[in-house]
Amino acid sequence: MQENIKSRIYYLRKKILRHNNLYYDKNNPEISDGGYDNLVKELEQLERENPIFDSSASPTQQVSGFVSSSFEQIKHSSPMLSLDNTYSQEETKKWYNKIEKSLNNKTIEFAIEPKIDGVSASLTYINGILTVGATRGDGEVGEDITENIKMIQNIPHKLKIYNPRFFELRGEVYINKTDFEELNEEILNFEGQKFANPRNAASGSLRQKNPQITAKRKLNFFVHSFGKIYGKQFQKQSDFLQYCKDCGFQLQDDFKICYSLEEIESFMNVMINKRDLLSYEIDGLVIKVNSLQSHQELGYTNKSPRWAIAFKFPAKQTTTILNKICVQVGRTGIITPSAILEPAALAGVTISRATLHNFDEIKRLKINEGDTVLIERAGDVIPKVVKVIKKGVTASKDIFFEPPKICPSCNSKIVKENEKEVAYRCINPECPAQFRRHLIHFAGRNAMDIEGFGEAVIDQLLERERIQILADIYYLSYDDFIGLDLFKEKKTDKLLEAIAVSKKRPLSKLLFALGIRHIGEKASEIIAKKFKNMNALFNANIEDFTKIHEIGNVLAVSLKNFFTNESVYHLIDSLIKTGVNMIEPESAQADDKFNNKIFVLTGELTNFAREQAVKTIKALGGKVTASVSKKTDYILAGINAGLKLKKAKELNVKIINETEFEGLISKNNNSI
């Protein structure tokens, strides 16, 4: 038994040290942060329960880091330690209680701020001038990256106030989410290997041999810790941070002083919900005793201060095995690959499926079934595969999943219509998978708006073979619905009424509902107003379409291809036989002063639903925008109107209330 424990401890130490090297030196981790944390937690528990195998060489007893021989070495004025972690509120409570007991249960202030997912760095100022920048390295010695540090725009080269003879501070170098995405896009354009996450991007950018490359990477810096200063003293962590702000450093907005465990836990919950709204990545919160005197009383372990802890959020990335790649057929026939995964816990949920975007992405990743992959989930976004960590046992690194040659739904040929596009598609208009999604789109709110005709209803009707073509919707009867799940008399009557009402929708809604490639809701409105009826569209040529200012050649070709397709002719003919409207009604004519006038709505409307007011304005030839500018003609102000109303007054925009608006749209009112 003891030998088994000893072997496991030695195995974990070796594995963790290897991952440390990949993470800190190579910037190319083969394991997620959550996976790494799990290894460390297991090792800590085994060492705690088996002190006979204790060793000062264990990674649990050392500051994680690495000093590369590629850079000059810098000795820190005081050790740059790492923080112990907690992974739950219960673990944080245990740490809090230990602090209270150690400080004799006196009232304690805690300074809390987000834990930036970046790279630690030390800055040294001599007589107020930035002189040295260094990585954390192994905690005692770091790498001299002074020239690269000077390329970070929000790090002052000279302190704005009092210039101490010596001042060392610590902070985090990071890259914003949008800049990270742009950097990876740029790297892909040059066929390089993109960074797995913003932390790796910041580390790789900070340790460039050419400072000009670092300058282009849009790095930022947040100060968070005190190193050493001559000639000045601080009583609290918050005092130190305020001093740094006065010196010209940027601090995080989400900084809070808490006086109880309840306040700490409340702030934890706030930041867990807020993390995805921030412009930069955070992976937890750092909780520190605010009093610097208490820091001295509490002291340090070999690698960490006892007066601070890092509360780690659920990981956004983890590794798992890609069991299978499946493909789905979209409404427009596009074939989309997705990954079926070995279930893995991620960001508080179990993930068993992730998107692969398209087949070009599969080729870039060189991914195949059986590979170990890194997956990522941000907020409520669908999980995605970031990179291949390890190829499957039988797979070569140059072999990847190829696009299918036939449609998985109808066995028709799959083609890539344009080499400039990434999409492969099934070109069979009667493909069952496309038809289902087409039905969902056709009945949608912005299309034919058949309320109650959702996916669950459509799936049951398709299963019972009650719908073969779109026109079958309008032949459905009471008996077709009454037997469906959750359908009773009232619900059935309501849905039949909604189907009947949808026949009267204008041509613009029908055009959008038909799902013509490249033709969205706005384009459908423009086309319908121009051609007035379906017959004119069938008789139009490409030149007729391109005469419309908003319709370019791509849209014109798409329209012409659609209306010359024989299956479309039969589709429209079948809809006409059911009584579906094929005409765009003439817009109500208003005074010329109303045409093309720009409206902005603000506040709560009581006489109109906001959507109804918007439709009325558009029907009368006006336009509705979201923001107020000098070009705005009217602002319709309801109850509790706010900043838009204020701006309208500043710009002298005409302000009207609901009563005045009713007068404007009245058929008998020509004073618009």
Residues acting as catalytic residues: 115
**In the block, residue with structure tokens 């080499």:** 419
List Cα–Cα distances, 29 to 8, 206, 293, 397, 399, in angstroms: 22, 17, 38, 17, 22
What span, in angstroms and rounded, lies between the C-alpha atoms of 96 and 111?
Answer: 13
Q: Which H/E stretch holds residue 189?
A: helix 177-189
CA atoms within 13 A on the CB side of 5: 13
- 562 contacts 510 by C-beta, under 8 angstroms: no
Torsion, Cα 391 396 399 404, to 10 degrees, reads -80
Q: Which residues contact 136 (CB under 8 A, 6 or more apart)?
A: 63, 65, 80, 120, 121, 122, 142
371-385: b or e for each residue (b if 16 or more CB lie within 10 Å)?
bbbbbbbeeeeebbb
Q: Based on C-alpha coordinates, what's the Rg of the chain? A: 32
CB atoms near residue 54 (< 10 Å): 12
Of the candidates 200, 208, 137, the residue with the CA atom closest to the CA atom of residue 170 = 137
- 442 contacts 515 by C-beta, under 8 angstroms: yes
Amino acid at 41: K
DSSP states along 333-394: SBEEEEEEEEEEEETTEEEEEEE---HHHHHHHT--TT-EEEEE--TTSPPEEEEEEE--TT
**Helix 2-20 with 33-49: angle, nearest 10 deg:** 140
**In the block, residue with structure tokens 């139009």:** 540
Q: What share of the chain is helix, strand, coil (3-state, %, to 5)?
A: 40, 20, 40
Q: Which residues contact 69 (CB under 8 A, 6 or more apart)?
A: none
Q: Which H/E stretch holds residue 602?
A: strand 598-602
Joined together, the tokens standing for residue 622 give 């006006």
Of the candidates 176, 200, 175, 193, the residue with the CA atom closest to the CA atom of residue 387 = 193
Q: Three-state SS for 319? A: strand
Joined together, the tokens standing for residue 607 give 């006489």
Backbone angles phi, psi at 134, to 5 degrees: -145, 150
Q: Environment class of residue 199 by beta-carbon count within 10 Å: exposed (0-12), middle (13-18) or buried (19+)?
A: buried
What span, in angstroms and rounded, lies between the C-alpha atoms of 201 and 451?
Answer: 48
- 64 contacts 44 by C-beta, under 8 angstroms: no
